[in-house]
Amino acid sequence: MKISSQNQLKGVIVAITEGMVNSEVDIELDNGMFIAAVITNSAVESLGLERDAAAFAFMKASNVMIGIGDFQVSARNVLPGKISAIKDGIVNSQVELDLGGGVKLTSVITKSSVDHLELAVGKEVSAIIKASSVVLGVE
């Protein structure tokens, strides 16, 4: 399978919480961090998702926000890491994060946000991703 998403995180499903229409699927990534996805119950069924099964979490780089310092947000996924690279454009910048254990994540945010947050290689930050922005896949 080939997809356009730069962010393809592999892990194991540790919990599925079913609601009336959607389910929350929690995945433990290879580095021990967790990511939550909210998908439809029919998607859970059609993918055959179950606890202890392998799965991939995908997210567009433009759906990955960057936070610094101590903050509170409603997003379910806040993943701490270090900036490993920044590629500046005229309007947007690509920020690459090392989450440890070989897990990498890419964010695309405005260059003005990179400047405002004083982002630099080696700086500790958090990737912030809404659970509804995470798409799941299986092999």
For 1-58, what is each residue's pLDDT tens digit? Answer: 678 888 999 999 999 999 999 999 999 999 999 999 999 999 999 999 999 999 999 9
User: What integer pLDDT is reported at residue 3 of this predicted model?
Assistant: 83
pTM of the model: 0.93
Instruction: Note whether residue 51 is domain-resident.
Output: yes
Q: What is the CATH number of the domain that holds 70?
A: 2.40.50.100
Say which amino acid occupies 28: E
Domain that holds residue 117: 7-137
Say which amino acid occupies 30: D
CA dihedral 73, 103, 6, 115 (to 10 degrees): 50
User: What integer pLDDT is reported at residue 94 of this predicted model?
Assistant: 98
Say which amino acid occupies 80: P
Instruction: Note whether residue 1 is domain-resident.
Output: no
Structurally, the chain folds into a number of domains equal to 1
User: CA dist 37 to 7, 14, 68, 93, 135, Å?
Assistant: 14, 12, 23, 26, 7
Instruction: Note whether residue 44 is domain-resident.
Output: yes
- Residue 61: helix, strand or coil by DSSP? helix
For 96-109, what is each residue's pLDDT tens digit? Answer: 999 999 999 999 99
Instruction: Note whether residue 2 is domain-resident.
Output: no
